[in-house]
Structure 1
Amino acid sequence: MASTAEPETVIGPLALDAPVGNPTSLDTLSGQGGERSPGPSELAHLARQRLDSPRFDHSPSWRRHCMTLFWPPTCRLCDHSVMVGMELCDSCFRQLEISRCHTSQVCSRCGLPGAGASLAGASLAGASLAGASLAGASLAGASLAGASLASPVADSAASGCLECRDQTLHYDRCLSVWRYDGLVRQAIVAAKFGQAVPLAETLGKRLGWRLLADDTWLRQSCPVADTDAAPDLIGWVPSHFSRRMTRGGGGAQALARAVHSVLTRRWPDLCRVNLLRTTRVVKKQAWLSETERAQNVRGAFAPRRPWLNRSIPSSWLRHRLGGTAAIVAGKHVLVVDDVMTTGATLNEVAGVLKRAGAAQVTVAVAARAA
């Protein structure tokens, strides 16, 4: 673990070789140093550094050092004492890293952990069977097998894994940081409440760094080579007013706010908008079966008219009379939530956005259940 006495990183190409624990490199390259803005590859490299470090994404200022005299820094998860500039202790960070390893192979469609490797094997096995069965047909069988073997990734994006291949999903892809178990489960549940907003911000920032570190989801969403299908809007899964009163805030909205603060380093025009509203109170999904979950959220969300939404740029003022339908029409919407288990809630939300005119819906969650 790097100490807090490390020298400040010099702005320039050497910043890419900065130590993993350096807390200043990302902010320095992001234009806060006032010299230059980073490119996508530099941001991806530095976002990977942030994911591999338990530090904040900024260097502790003198105000923060003064605050530690009255409020000593503690781990956001277990409340054990940590050094200035740290947000996680070594024990919690190691557990999160173990959980993050399980999301290295995921389905590009539903985000199921561990589905990437099995899906590739299934694609190759299918190609072998197709080639064997069509061997007598000579050229047709050879070309079909060659196409399947040449593009297993394209087949993965098109058909999904064995779990979601036969499902109707309204969102185009799902990305996550951790697997939903152990310490991650405890952190997700705690981040739903208002007194744990700092924890929700920590989870949200790491989700934002995950999106910056791996931009394959951008290439999958755009058929044109060497072109980014950058998100135009970022929203979140809304909660009913009664549930917000009970929990005191936090949750998906706090996550979306943290993700937005990270993604604007690469896309300054990315707009965070409250796109949806709840139409009724729903039961807790954790108490229901998979079929009951889909029925529980059916029709529970609807587009909202953002009359008083100050996050909408003034250039969009003429679209306010049209409500959410005019805002999301033809746009790539990024929906943020804390956890996905069966995906019933996020599928319903994505369906509402698609019916409102959204061209693409990408789902980003802090944790994904296996």
Structure 2
Amino acid sequence: MEWIGAGSLAAWAWLLLGRGFFWRTDVRLPARGEPERWPSVAVVVPARDEAAVLPVSLPSLLAQKYPGRAEVFLVDDGSTDGTGALARALAAERDGLPLTVVSPGPPEPGWTGKLWAVRHGIALARERTDPEYLLLTDADIAHDPDGLRELVAAARSARLDLVSQMARLRVATFWERLIVPAFVYFFAQLYPFRWVNRPGARTAAAAGGCVLLRTEAAERAGVPESVRGAVIDDVSLARAVKSAGGRIWLGLAERVDSVRPYPRLAELWQMVARSAYAQLRHRPLLLLGTVLGLALVYLAPPAALLAGAAAGSAVAAGCGGAAWAVMCGTFLPMVRYYRQPWWTAPLLPFTALLYLLMTVDSAVRHHRGRGAAWKGRTYGAP
């Protein structure tokens, strides 16, 4: 236990200082000014059975105060709950950006439903308006009225081909408070924002809920065709753009919010389990390494502290306690970003255990043929 505690403390020392300061939450939209000319933008919204959230999210897009030309294209991906009709009704009730609703039919083999919808939305937008930028946003994302303006200003000022903001997810129930801040924390640990935003770095990622993409960069990267089968489509999109020479940026949002509720553990479990094994490229060895890594980094510190205290080992208890303290310290900025009480930070080992079980469950689902399931569709390994 002394060796395990020491190993965990060493891992946390490296994470604290050598992982791009992933734990900091000050990566926000870069400095921006008013462009001389506001470019045209097409907002593409893939939507499948989203009638429950559209009354909150869609009006926020239609009410964008954008000085240039902008139009919204909502692609109804085979909804059975009246998503398309509701979108038209919401647009008819208010003035704002023009809305077009289309239904492309079921996806062709090799395409995920979302990317199939995005493909048709982009094609229609280019046919109608030939936009200079594309705002790809999910149907559960609500934007402040000046959100599009700020995104375009940042892209123009910093000469970026892709600007993505990690929407602030809803945190209202007990399980949301326990799971959601850790979800963003783990994402930043996998893809440190500072590394993503560094032009010469290999790390690439985006947050699919809010992606502003220059149309020319999308064409150069072959998007969305080049990522048509990706389950984790936002990361794949960013990799394609960066590999094609594009400059990308990812940070936390200040005025972009997800309105989708996850009131029970089951919904949150499904959110993680549907794509966790795809993140590991469906490789059992990567799964084993992930399980062992999570155990060493997150479960070992409290175990070493308690075991060391029980056995009278000051080394095990000291290393475990120090590792747990560093863990809490790195998690606190994310806890504050989500406006949660500080005492939720020491619960991170328990939350990490849940994520470990979700990841294993994701692999079990894949090997049982259920793969990445979302709203009635199941996707296997590409």
Q: TM-score range by the shorter chain?
A: under 0.3
| Structure number with higher strand proportion | 2
- Normalised TM-score (structure 1): 0.25
| Structure number with higher helix proportion | 2
> More relative contact order in 1 or in 2 (CA 8 Å, sep 6+)?
2
- Normalised TM-score (structure 2): 0.24
